[in-house]
Amino acid sequence: MTETTTGFNWNRSEVIGLARERCMHCHGNGMRHGGKGPTGQPCNCVLRAVFRACYNRFRQCATREKHFGRVRLEHVGGQDRRQSWGMKDEEYMADFMLTAQRALTAEDFRLFRFHFLLGADWKLCCRQMKIDRGTFFHSVYRMQQRLGRVFRELKPYSLFPLDEYFGGALKGVTPCTVRMMPRPNQLRPPLKKAA
């Protein structure tokens, strides 16, 4: 499977916080210049950081107790501006797994399943898949980079940034303002009169 650029514009302000400070390729800037396009491409350390953030959230959703699953009322964008009920944790886990399955080859997804989903260490994966240690780690790094790019560039809704996926800022929906009314028995200090 070949990596193709989708025309997604990575900006420096979103990658600089994810970049490794000691990266030999980007020197902590997060962008590798010289790629296609005027702005360059994100460094591999940034793509791996995107994958790790998504994977950590997946593990957090998977290890949460099942009887505590929450149903949430969500705003749906579009002209109608409807609301729908959803279980965001379960939807995220399904999106994570199905996106990985679509983006990886069958052999890579098998390794992904053994190592990331089932939690096998590198020794067990090497024995099970009949590969050496170097091949294992190179495959894992390639998978992290590919999936990090896919998770960020996924259209129409990406898995990363996580706060947008889990109900952060919605595009095209104006937030409603809630005004808190003081309780009747609440004490209020006297205000100083303006001179």
Are 62 and 93 in contact by the 8 Å Cβ rule? The answer is yes
What's the domain count of the chain? 1
Q: Does the residue 144 lie in any domain?
A: yes
Residues 6+ apart with CB under 8 A from 127: none
What local confidence, expressed as pLDDT, does residue 94 receive? 92
Q: Does the residue 63 lie in any domain?
A: yes
Q: How far apart are CA 104 and CA 99, in angstroms?
A: 9
In 39-193, where does DSSP find H-type helix? 44-63, 88-103, 106-112, 122-129, 133-153, 162-165
Q: Does the residue 87 lie in any domain?
A: yes
Q: Does the residue 187 lie in any domain?
A: no
Closest Cα to residue 158, out of 171, 141, 143?
171
Could you tell me the pLDDT band of residue 180, with boundaries at 50, 70 and 90? very low
Q: What percent of the chain has pLDDT over 90?
A: 38
Tokens, residue 50: 């995107």
Q: How far apart are CA 62 and CA 73, in angstroms?
A: 21
Q: Does the residue 41 lie in any domain?
A: yes
Q: How far apart are CA 18 and CA 28, in angstroms?
A: 9
Q: Does the residue 58 lie in any domain?
A: yes
pLDDT digit string, tens, across residues 19-61: 888 888 888 888 876 555 455 788 999 999 999 999 999 999 8
Q: Does the residue 42 lie in any domain?
A: yes
Give this prediction's pTM. Answer: 0.73
Q: Does the residue 173 lie in any domain?
A: no
Does position 4 have pLDDT exceeding 70, yes or no? no
Whole domain around residue 40: which residue ranges?
12-104+138-165
